[in-house]
């Protein structure tokens, strides 16, 4: 066992480079009992073919889970200082940013102004 990893057998779901630096195609079996040595941890693009391999792939999927979720990379924006975050009046309407003329119909009266008119 090199690099402290377990010996297991995997099937590739996508192209990988072997430890001998050979390009292996999807469907290739690597690891214990195959011509292609695999002593590194598995990737999420592998399927474990034995008990050790299945456990190692599941562990890797849990470890990489946060990195695989694209929603984790979206910026978080809150507050009314963000254009478009508040009521969609002329000052908060993203289409009415500085340097742009207001769109027709985008200059809606404030609710306070409507209540005062009655």
8 Å CB contact between 5 and 37: no
pLDDT digit string, tens, across residues 35-87: 999 999 999 999 999 999 999 999 988 887 756 566 666 666 655 455 555 55
Band of pLDDT at residue 29, cut at 50, 70 and 90: very high
Q: Which residue has the higher pLDDT, 105 or 45?
A: 45
Q: What is the pTM assigned to this prediction?
A: 0.52
Q: Would you state the pLDDT for residue 63?
A: 82
* Contacts for 5 with CB less than 8 Å, ≥ 6 apart: 39, 40, 41, 56
pLDDT at residue 2, rounded to an integer: 44
């Amino acid at each position: 066992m090199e690099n402290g990893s377990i010996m297991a057998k995997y099937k590739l779901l996508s192209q990988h480079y072997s430890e001998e630096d050979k390009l292996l195609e999807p469907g290739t079996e690597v690891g214990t009992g195959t011509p292609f040595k695999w002593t590194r941890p598995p990737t999420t693009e592998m399927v474990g073919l034995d008990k050790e391999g299945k456990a190692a792939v599941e562990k890797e999927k849990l470890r990489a889970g946060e990195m695989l979720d694209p929603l984790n990379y979206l910026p978080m924006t809150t507050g009314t200082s963000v254009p478009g975050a508040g009521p969609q009046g002329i000052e908060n309407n993203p289409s009415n940013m500085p340097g742009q003329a207001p769109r027709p119909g985008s200059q809606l009266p404030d609710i306070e102004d409507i209540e005062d008119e009655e």
